[in-house]
Amino acid sequence: MTIQPLTRILARIRRIARFEVHAYWRRQPIRASTVLYESFAGNGMLCNPEAIFRDLLGAPDMAHLHHIWAISEPHLNRSVQSEFSRDPRVTIVRYGSAAYLRALATSQYLINNATFPPDFAKRPGQQYINTWHGTPLKKMGYDMPGGAKEAANVIRNFVAADYLLSANPVMTDMYWRAYCLKGIYRGTIIEEGYPRIDRQVLTSEAITAERTASVLTASRAAT
């Protein structure tokens, strides 16, 4: 047997194993008060998910939450590990690992600034907030050549989300028009700015008062 067919067989075995692990955890109960955060497919503790995480972590009335971060290379994020190593409320899992699949399948709350993998499907009892990661200054979705194929997983994630965060009217138009969500999206688009911007320009008192108001209020109301 040549190396190339063997490589394909091993890759297929790994995919089957992943699907079996994911399917197992999807049959397990949802873990209440657990939040999974993911930013740019595990590239780090970044962007809007980080801002929401830090606010929730520091909020006295949210002390019951357990926070899980998906990081693709935890050993390269030593500052993050060091900062939260002694906090029992914070867990870091490797993106794509069995622990990640468990968190994806059983966390009550899901927060992402991009997309979860194509095999992700939100379960009854889960609440999904997609914050996206910026105001588009380029063609997006169906506006791109071959956009229908390229945007497939993005649209799946948007449609699955209970809440889509919009920083401004341009982003709101992106959701409705560029990704053709009219008539298929049943969640809520929250046009209230960006948590990461709030952290840059507001005082801690103002952030506490706002608490990224619409997103977090909506999350509480869903519990």
Residues 5-38 pLDDT 10s: 778 888 888 888 888 889 999 999 999 999 999 9
Average pLDDT for 113-126: 96
List C-alpha distances in Å: 139 to 142, 144, 150, 159.
8, 6, 12, 20
Distance, in Å, from the CA atom of 55 to the CA atom of 52, rounded to the nearest integer, reads 5
> How confident is the model over 74-109, as pLDDT tens digits?
887 888 889 999 999 999 999 999 999 999 999 999
Q: Note whether residue 8 is domain-resident.
A: no
Q: Is the pLDDT of residue 177 over 50?
A: yes
Over residues 132-149, the pLDDT tens digits come to 998 888 889 999 888 788
pLDDT category of residue 2 using cuts at 50, 70 and 90: low
202 domain-assigned: yes
Residue-number span of the structural domain to which 67 is assigned: 30-221
CA-CA distance, 113 to 17, in Å (whole number)?
27
Q: Do the domain assignments include residue 22?
A: no
165 Cβ contact list (under 8 Å, min separation 6): 48, 129, 130, 131, 132, 190, 192, 194, 195, 215
Which CATH number do you get for residue 175?
Answer: 3.40.50.11820
Grade residue 4 by pLDDT with cuts at 50, 70 and 90: confident
The percent of residues in the chain predicted with pLDDT above 90, rounded, is: 64
Range of weakest confidence among 1-5, 70-74, 209-213: 209-213
In this predicted structure, the answer to whether residue 223 has a pLDDT above a threshold of 80 is no
Q: What total number of domains does the chain contain?
A: 1
pLDDT: which is higher, 187 or 75? 187
Q: Is residue 15 part of a domain?
A: no
Mean pLDDT of 158-179: 95
Q: Does some domain include residue 9?
A: no
User: Is the residue at 16 inside a domain?
Assistant: no
pLDDT value for 185: 97
Residue 7 lies in a domain: no
Span 114-138, average pLDDT? 94
Residue 6 in any domain: the answer is no
